[in-house]
Amino acid sequence: MDRPRFRKAFLSPRFWPLWCGLGLLWLIVQLPYPALLSIGRLLGAVMYRLAGDRRRIAKRNLELCFPEKSAAERKHLLKENFASTGIAFFEMAMSWWWSRERLAKLAHVEGLEHLQKAQREGKG
């Protein structure tokens, strides 16, 4: 697949808010990972408050999926889902701009030998 090409038109004032937003996002993801987790949870809490339609849909889905849980337990799951979504936003940006080495420090692989065995057997 060919890589998209930059066009001079992207520098027009129409795109300045986008460039400013991307610049701000780039600055934020330069922070240490624990700070990004906190900011992501905060973003999730804001989304929980502002995204009423999404919140109602997710709440209903949890009611259907977990009828055995109490309303308080489902509300906790709902808030954690929004927090995870906020964190995922910054983790996506990390994948764009962090170096491979910096990302590797966060990764921990368990069971790699199972994948390697499957690959050797032609099943990977």
pLDDT, tens digit, 9 for 90 and up, residues 28-74: 999 999 999 999 999 999 999 999 999 999 999 999 999 999 999 99
Residue 91 CB partners (closer than 8 Å, separation 6+) = 36, 40
Cβ atoms of 93 and 25 within 8 Å: the answer is yes
Residue 4 pLDDT: 83
Query: Residue 80: which of 58, 64, 63 has the closest Cα?
Result: 58
pLDDT band at 106 (very low <50, low <70, confident <90, very high): very high
Residue 87 pLDDT: 98
Residue 20 pLDDT: 98
The sign of the torsion formed by the CA atoms of 9, 13, 19, 23 equals positive
Mean pLDDT of the chain: 95
**pTM higher than 0.95 for the full model?**
no
Could you tell me what percent of the chain has a pLDDT over 70?
A: 98
Cβ atoms of 93 and 30 within 8 Å: the answer is no
